[in-house]
């Protein structure tokens, strides 16, 4: 099966339809080159200081550099991209709300082997979510060009309904080749993995993912974003990164207060039963 590419002018309904059907697609040239350049510059010192992974799955010659909310102001445009958030809301509509799950610059160095083929929703302790219940919506933004040779993400479009199985191999996948600034969108159910890098340059992809707000976040935003930086973010962004209740009562503070008050101060109680998205 091939991986569909849509233009940046694609409507959210169409993107959502392809995402449900195939489990993945690319939106070409979704962000401009200058924004990509600024993010790469802002992240460069942190990437340089990041060691390789500690196991084969995370990749011993792959660097995973997080905390983009705190470290890269220019990345906020990607994290809050209106098309991506619209489609995420549609995919995760069974839950009351969703939140930022993780931000991670993934730098696959030359001569890296391919990552094993997996589902991202296995992060939730391999719980077998119902086939029609999506818990994750994921992006990988190409911060360098993605080619088959430099380790473009490999995917099995249409694999969402297959049983859980560690045995899939790269031969069953296609590479998400895309230009710098393009965005790979994929669900938590589709089989995929980082590709082997057979080139002499590093492949950089910015993995920004969202999950239903009744599950735990992979990257702990409360500790990754220092309080003094959190205070500078607007209310909608704070809610997106986790300062909200995840369902009827999940995540309130002390006397049933809205988690936003931890940052903004004030003593008014939230309306218990926050049923609006």
Ligand X SMILES: O=C(O)CCC(=O)C(=O)O
For residue 41, the surrounding DSSP H or E stretch is: helix 33-48
* Alpha carbons 235 and 230: distance in angstroms, whole number: 10
User: Per the structure block, which two tokens stand in for 212?
Assistant: 């239903």
Which ranges of 100-170 does DSSP label H, i.e. alpha helix?
A: none
Selected binder of Fe ion within 3, 25, 70, 120 (CB under 5 A): 120
- 218 lies in the site for Fe ion, by CB under 5 A: no
Contacts of 112 (CB under 8 A, 6+ apart): 59, 61, 62, 151, 194, 196, 197
Task: State the minimum distance, in angstroms, from the CB of residue 195 to ligand X.
Answer: 6
Task: State the minimum distance, in angstroms, from the CB of residue 262 to ligand X.
Answer: 30
* Alpha carbons 42 and 209: distance in angstroms, whole number: 20
Structure-derived torsion over alpha carbons of residues 215, 217, 218, 219, reported in degrees to the nearest 10: -170
- 140 lies in the site for ligand X, by CB under 6 A: yes
Binding partner selected for residue 74 from ligand X, Fe ion, none, CB under the kind-specific 5 to 8 Å limit: none
Size of the site for ligand X (CB under 6 A): 9
For residue 69, the surrounding DSSP H or E stretch is: helix 68-71
Selected binder of ligand X within 22, 120, 177, 211 (CB under 6 A): 120
State which residue, 66 or 246, has the beta carbon closest to ligand X. 66
- Asked whether 24 and 41 are in contact (CB, 8 A), the reply is no
Binding partner selected for residue 140 from ligand X, Fe ion, none, CB under the kind-specific 5 to 8 Å limit: ligand X
Task: State the minimum distance, in angstroms, from the CB of residue 106 to ligand X.
Answer: 4
Site string for ligand X, 205-244 (x = CB under 6 A): x---------------------------------------
Pairing mode, if any, of strands 24-27 and 5-6? parallel
Interface residues for ligand X in 33-72 (CB under 6 A)? none
Task: State the minimum distance, in angstroms, from the CB of residue 244 to ligand X.
Answer: 25
**273 dihedral zone (left: phi>0; alpha: psi -120 to 50; beta):** left
Selected binder of ligand X within 153, 159, 182, 197 (CB under 6 A): 153
State which residue, 52 or 73, has the beta carbon closest to Fe ion. 52
Interface residues for ligand X in 161-200 (CB under 6 A)? 192-194
State which residue, 106 or 183, has the beta carbon closest to ligand X. 106
Contacts of 220 (CB under 8 A, 6+ apart): none
Angle at 146 between CA 181 and CA 224, to 5 degrees: 65
List of residues contacting ligand X (CB under 6 A):
106, 115, 120, 140, 153, 192-194, 205
List of residues contacting Fe ion (CB under 5 A):
120
């Amino acid at each position: 099966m091939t991986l569909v590419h849509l233009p940046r002018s694609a409507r959210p309904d169409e993107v959502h339809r392809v995402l449900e059907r195939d489990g993945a697609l690319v939106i070409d040239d979704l962000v401009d080159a200058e924004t990509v350049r600024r993010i790469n510059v802002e992240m460069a010192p942190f990437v340089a200081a990041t060691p390789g992974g500690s196991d084969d799955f995370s990749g011993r010659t792959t660097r995973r550099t997080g905390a983009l909310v705190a470290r890269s102001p220019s990345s906020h445009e990607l994290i809050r991209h209106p098309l991506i958030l619209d489609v995420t809301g549609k995919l995760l509509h069974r839950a009351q709300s969703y939140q930022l799950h993780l931000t991670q610059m993934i730098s696959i160095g030359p001569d890296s082997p391919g990552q094993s083929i997996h589902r991202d929703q296995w992060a939730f302790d391999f719980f077998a979510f119902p086939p029609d219940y999506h818990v994750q919506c994921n992006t990988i933004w190409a911060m360098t060009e993605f080619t088959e040779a430099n380790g473009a993400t490999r995917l099995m479009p249409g694999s969402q309904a297959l049983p859980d199985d560690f045995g899939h191999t790269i031969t069953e996948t296609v590479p998400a080749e895309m230009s710098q600034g393009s965005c790979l969108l994929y669900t938590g159910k589709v089989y995929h993995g980082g590709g082997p890098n057979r080139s002499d340059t590093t492949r950089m992809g910015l993995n920004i993912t969202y999950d239903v707000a009744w599950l735990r976040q992979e990257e702990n935003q409360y500790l990754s974003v220092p309080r003094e930086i959190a205070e500078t973010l607007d209310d909608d962004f704070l809610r997106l990164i986790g300062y909200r209740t995840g369902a009827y009562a999940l995540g309130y503070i002390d006397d049933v207060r809205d988690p936003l008050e931890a940052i903004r101060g004030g003593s008014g109680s939230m309306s218990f039963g926050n049923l609006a998205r």
